[in-house]
Amino acid sequence: MEKILVIDDDKMSRDVASQILTLANYEVLQADNGQSGLEIALQRRPDLIVCDIVMPVLDGYGVLRVAQKHPLLRHTPVIVCSGNADISEVRRAMDSGADDFIAKPFCTTDLLGAIESRLRKHQYAAALLPGDAPPRPALRGERWEDAVRQLVEGRNINSFGKRHLLYEYGCRVQHVYYVLSGKLRTFVRNDNGKDLVLELYGPGDFVGYEALLGEGIYRNTAETLEYAELAVIPREDMQQAIAANAEVQRAFFRMLSKSLERKQRYQLLLAYDSLRRKVAQALLRLERKFGDGQTPFRINLAREVMASIAGTATESLIRTLGDFRNEGLIDVEANGAIVVRDAKRLEAIHA
């Protein structure tokens, strides 16, 4: 069992982090200031340290300075956390030797993602001779398809059940996901707890790549709509692939451009179209994304999820689906699945 040392003078923050890590099957050590934290680190030799910056006796920067110089601690990963997440604070922490920075209050996926990533890199480096850690090989070939294949080869393939959250709004980017099977959505949630879908994803799509630009924060939440298999690509590897290959850069920005165009069209639909057209376009959006173009399109989603795609209340969606069924536009099966019977008439709905 891997040991994590949590150093934080705020008992509530320390306890929350410890509970999260204990549930994730880590052995947790605690200290309430930097000096006692270093004493525990030297005695117990943790595999990783999570350290607050502002603390009495010895602050987080002091912990980093000592850890960098001490032969028993210089290779121990240190993740610092702070309520002050402006760029100058992040830069100072990284320049002082921190392996990662997490803004407080942190979410579960943010904390666990950062720890798993740093532990994995530390274990890989420890298996090599000093100075022998090779960079990941540059991508060969110039085609986007070749780059994707090489990015996915040898990755961890993770399976996720229905309605599993991959990441949440506001978390720092740790991974980009490549969909091998299944359906996913990204969405935002308003102050009233209503969800609005931004994008739908299926096999062959990347999820979370937009957050690689800018400040590196997820600006949406990603959730599986059914059982899904995803290749998990570390952020650094995706960034390296984009930076090292001109064709990959062009394809990456094409993805961003197309995503932006879809979102703009969707916003116009929500702003100006009628309820009937919103629901009709939601069904057609699902068909275009997940249909095979050969057989009648069939989809079975929770009605609140469909309402988040249509941008309407769940009750309004259910009532409109009932109208569509009565008009022969769709069928609704006993298990709730919807079968599109007349896509042309759905497309023609404007009022």
Distance CA 205, CA 181 (A): 10
For the chain, give every domain's residue range: 3-126, 144-261, 273-347
Tell me which of 28 and 122 has the higher pLDDT.
Answer: 28
Average pLDDT over residues 174-196: 89
Distance CA 216, CA 241 (A): 17
Domain 273-347 listed as CATH 1.10.10.10: yes
Residue 105 pLDDT > 90, yes or no? no
Place of tokens 């929770």: 302
Residue 210: partners with Cβ closer than 8 Å, 6 or more residues away: 219, 256, 259
Is residue 218 within 8 Å of 169, Cβ to Cβ?
yes
Residue 242 pLDDT > 80, yes or no? no
Residue 302: partners with Cβ closer than 8 Å, 6 or more residues away: none
Whole-number percent of the chain with pLDDT over 70: 91
Helix (H) or strand (E) holding 221: strand 221-224
Helix (H) or strand (E) holding 316: helix 314-326
Strand partners, 197: 187
Burial label, 97 (beta-carbon count in 10 A; 0-12, 13-18, 19+): middle
Mean pLDDT rounded to a whole number for the chain: 85
Distance CA 106, CA 187 (A): 20
Q: At 136, is the pLDDT very low, low, confident or very high (cuts 50, 70, 90)?
A: very low
Q: Which pLDDT does position 98 carry in this prediction?
A: 86
Residue 61: partners with Cβ closer than 8 Å, 6 or more residues away: 53, 92, 93, 96
Q: In this predicted model, what pLDDT tens digit does every residue of 270-318 receive, in sequence order?
A: 777 899 999 999 999 999 999 988 889 999 999 999 999 999 999 999 9
Distance CA 264, CA 191 (A): 22
Q: Which pLDDT does position 48 carry in this prediction?
A: 94
Q: At 140, is the pLDDT very low, low, confident or very high (cuts 50, 70, 90)?
A: very low
Q: Which pLDDT does position 21 carry in this prediction?
A: 92
Distance CA 74, CA 113 (A): 22
Q: Could you tell me the two tokens for 107?
A: 């979410």
Q: What is the CATH code of the structural domain delimited by 3-126?
A: 3.40.50.2300
In CATH, which superfamily holds the domain spanning 144-261?
Answer: Jelly Rolls (2.60.120.10)
Omega of the bond prior to 296 within 30 degrees of 0, cis? no
Strands of the sheet with 338-340, listed across from one edge:
298-299, 338-340, 330-332
Q: In this predicted model, what pLDDT tens digit does every residue of 91-102 receive, in sequence order?
A: 788 778 888 888
Distance CA 287, CA 202 (A): 12
Most confident of 49-63, 125-139, 160-174, 248-262: 49-63
Residue 141 pLDDT > 80, yes or no? no
Q: At 217, is the pLDDT very low, low, confident or very high (cuts 50, 70, 90)?
A: confident
